[in-house]
Every structure is written in structure tokens, then in C-alpha cells.
Amino acid sequence: MERGGCGSEWASDLNDSECQNEIFRMAEQMVKERQDITGLNCIKGASEKVIVDDKGIKYSWKEYMEKLMNKENDWDHKLTAEVKEGPADYIRMDKVRAALKEMKRHKAPGLSGLVTEMIQAIGEIGTQWILDFVMVL
């Protein structure tokens, strides 16, 4: 039976087992297409052999990550960044206003308990408070 062969006849042919099988096959295919890839089927290990069992794959990844994280990187110990002396750059009020305007609303508060709507609701006082706070840092 061709894809979609049941077409407009689905309602009338639902009792037909061939049409039911076609519907289930298409639904199953739709589900498979929307699934995320959750695991690997195989991986090449350090010995260049293909590993297919889950335990071997996990061990191979663990081995790889340990090697990667424990490797010491070579560098010439030269710093290219210049040390800045003096006061920090001044942050202007219009930049704080623009940042507050761009902040997303209806988000959960952080440790301070403040949300964007609270700061925006008190207007210039809130903007000045943020500016003062940032300039102290």
C-alpha cells in the first residue's frame, strides 16, 4: 500500500486491518523521527577497536576524559594582557537604562530576591540604585 493510501478513506476503513497497520506504521515512524539521540551504538576506543557494549563505551569515555583533563598543556608563560591601573571605566546611566529595558520579565528571582519588574517599577530610583551598586564593584 502506498504512503497515505488510506487518505480520506481512513474514517470509513478504520475496521480494515490493512489500513490500521498503515496508520500505526506511520504513527510509529513519526514518533521515531521526533526522538532525540540519547546514546551511542558504537565508539572507537584508544586501541582503535570498535566498542559496542554500553559498559565498554562508558569506560572508554571515562578513560578519554581522564586523559584529556590530566594532560598538562605547554605554554611560554608570557602574558600578553596589559595591567590596567587606575579607576574602572565609568558606567553611564543610559547604559543601565538600556540594560534594564532589555532584561526579560517574569523570571525567577536570584539570591537577592529582586526581579526585573521590581527595579523597573521604581523608575529612576531603581536605575540609580543599580548604577551605584555596580560602581562599587
| Segment 74-88 mean pLDDT | 73
Given 3-state DSSP classes, what are the helix, strand and coil percentages for the chain, each rounded to the nearest 5? Answer: 50, 5, 50
Sketch the domain layout of the chain as residue ranges. Answer: 1-35, 39-71, 93-136
pLDDT tens by residue, 37-63: 666 577 888 888 888 888 888 888 898
CA dist 103 and 108 (Å) reads 12
pLDDT over 90 percentage in the chain: 4
If DSSP codes are grouped into helix, strand and coil, which group holds residue 111? coil
> Residue 129 burial by CB count (10 A; 0-12/13-18/19+): exposed, middle or buried?
middle
Residue where the block lists cell 521590581: 118
- Alpha-carbon Rg for the chain in angstroms: 30
Q: Give the DSSP per-residue string, 66-103.
A: HHHHHPPPP------SPPP-SSPPPPPHHHHHHHHHHS
Other CB atoms within 10 A of residue 61 CB: 14
pTM greater than 0.85: no
